[in-house]
């Protein structure tokens, strides 16, 4: 793996990790201050799941059928959960 590619991958992973931590802190804060409802924290969960699947699990470089299937599953699951919570 070329050094530049490796460095870039390291930065992408670091940025993703920081973003995931920030989203976690945000969802916790939002829920604790009681300023939102279930759909918001579940929406953040879907966003975080996409980052984990796409970047950490490298689905962005996998055959598209896997990435699309997981996206469909995550959105369907979140939609059902949000509907049941509303």
Residue 50: CB atoms within 10 Å? 17
Measured CA to CA, the distance from residue 19 to residue 60 in angstroms comes to: 17
Q: How far is the CB of 51 from another protein (least distance, A)?
A: 10
CB count in 10 Å sphere of residue 27: 19
Q: How far apart are CA 23 and CA 45, in angstroms?
A: 9
Among residues 17, 33, 72, 75, the one that binds another protein under rule CB under 8 A: 17
Q: Which residues bind another protein (CB under 8 A)?
A: 1, 6, 9-10, 13-14, 16-17, 20-21, 24-25, 27-28, 31-32, 34, 37-38, 41-42, 44-45, 48-49, 52-53, 55-58, 61-64, 66, 69-70, 73, 77, 80-81, 84-85
């Amino acid at each position: 793996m070329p050094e530049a590619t490796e460095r870039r991958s390291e930065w992408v992973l670091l940025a993703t990790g920081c973003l995931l931590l920030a989203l976690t802190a945000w969802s916790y804060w939002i829920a604790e201050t009681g300023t939102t409802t279930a759909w918001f924290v579940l929406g953040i969960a879907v966003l975080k799941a996409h980052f984990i699947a796409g970047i950490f699990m490298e689905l962005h470089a996998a055959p598209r059928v896997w990435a699309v299937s997981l996206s469909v599953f995550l959105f369907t699951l979140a939609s059902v959960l949000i509907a049941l919570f509303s």
